[in-house]
Amino acid sequence: MSAKPRTESPGPEAPRADKRRPAELRPIRITLDYVDFSDGAALVECGRTRVLAAATIEDRVPPFLKGTGRGWVTAEYAMLPRATAERTPRERNAGRVSGRTMEIQRLVGRALRAVTDLRALGERQIIIDCDVIQADGGTRAASVTAGCIALGLALKKMMDLGLVDQMPLRHLVAGVSVGVVRGRTLLDLDYSEDSQAELDMNVIETDRGELVEVQAGAEKGPFSRQDLLRLLKMADKGIGKIIQLQKRALKEKSFLFMAYGYKDK
């Protein structure tokens, strides 16, 4: 028997803490080249969440790719100690990376590889460092969004230097969170909403509307397929708006995707 669909709370909708509508994104700001020494960098601010992604190009690949002619894109994720209301100890002091950190950096790496032509890279690796400057929910989704921009800038640099013949970035990719909080379906949850969610989900999607990853979990009971489809629909609209902001930021830097082979569909 399938789970019973969740119902929205009756009566007038109570405003969210920041006065947003249920299907409204937090204000998003994208700053390119936020740091000087990387091969491509972007600071993405989603409300009070701020993530800096910086790219590094290396003339080497992991051992399992040596001699294959293929490149690699990977990511690392970290949160500054005072990114949160209470200080979070640096993971290096614990001597190991936490399971949450490992999960997020693998997610970001998978998302970026999904939209990159790794053979066009040659035997080179691009590392995307995602550092959370301030956390108020949605840091993994913001890391994918920022990481894609940093990757695009690094790949353009490779083209400008003649290291690659064509633009390896095939599509843009971005992420957003959605969830059910007190019976209401909400887009782009901040921390106060995420911590109370009966159901929360992270969606990663390309500019063609193709899903790269969906992470969903029920906190207080099972959810129905109708719930899943409703959340996916809301996430799809949100990600479409985020990708438009990515495009706008890159165009302002004269990043001419079409000239390099990127197909905007």
pLDDT for res 3: 52
Mean pLDDT of 91-110: 86
The pLDDT of residue 2 is above 50: no
CA 98, chain centre distance (Å): 19
pLDDT for res 252: 75
For 263, the token pair is 């197909």
Tell me the per-residue pLDDT of 188-222, one tens digit each, with 9 for 90 and over.
999 999 999 999 999 999 999 999 999 999 988 89
Domain range annotation of the chain: 28-87+98-252
The pLDDT of residue 12 is above 60: no
The lowest-confidence range among 51-60, 111-120, 202-211, 220-229 is 220-229
From CA 182, how far away is CA 186, in angstroms rounded? 10
Tell me the per-residue pLDDT of 135-185, one tens digit each, with 9 for 90 and over.
999 999 999 999 999 999 999 999 999 999 999 999 999 999 999 999 999
Closest alpha carbon to 26 in 145, 149, 109: 145
**Sign of the alpha-carbon torsion through 95, 97, 99, 100:** positive
Residue predicted with more confidence, 2 or 131 = 131
Kindly state the percentage of the chain with pLDDT values over 90: 80
Burial class (CB in 10 A: 0-12, 13-18, 19+), 252: exposed
pTM of the model: 0.90
The pLDDT of residue 17 is above 90: no
Residue predicted with more confidence, 95 or 243 = 243
Kindly state the percentage of the chain with pLDDT values over 70: 89
pLDDT for res 117: 97
- The dihedral region occupied by 153, where left means phi > 0, alpha psi between -120 and 50, and beta the remainder, is alpha
Q: How confident is the model at residue 100 (pLDDT cuts 50, 70, 90)?
A: confident
Tell me the per-residue pLDDT of 32-41, one tens digit each, with 9 for 90 and over.
999 999 999 9
β 199-206/211-218 pair status? antiparallel
Any residues with CB less than 8 A from the CB of 206 and at least 6 apart, and which? 114, 115, 171, 172, 173, 212
Mean pLDDT of 233-250: 96
The lowest-confidence range among 87-91, 102-106, 139-143, 198-202 is 87-91
pLDDT for res 147: 98
pLDDT for res 242: 98
- Total count of residues recorded for the chain: 265
Is the domain spanning 28-87+98-252 CATH 3.30.230.70? The answer is: yes
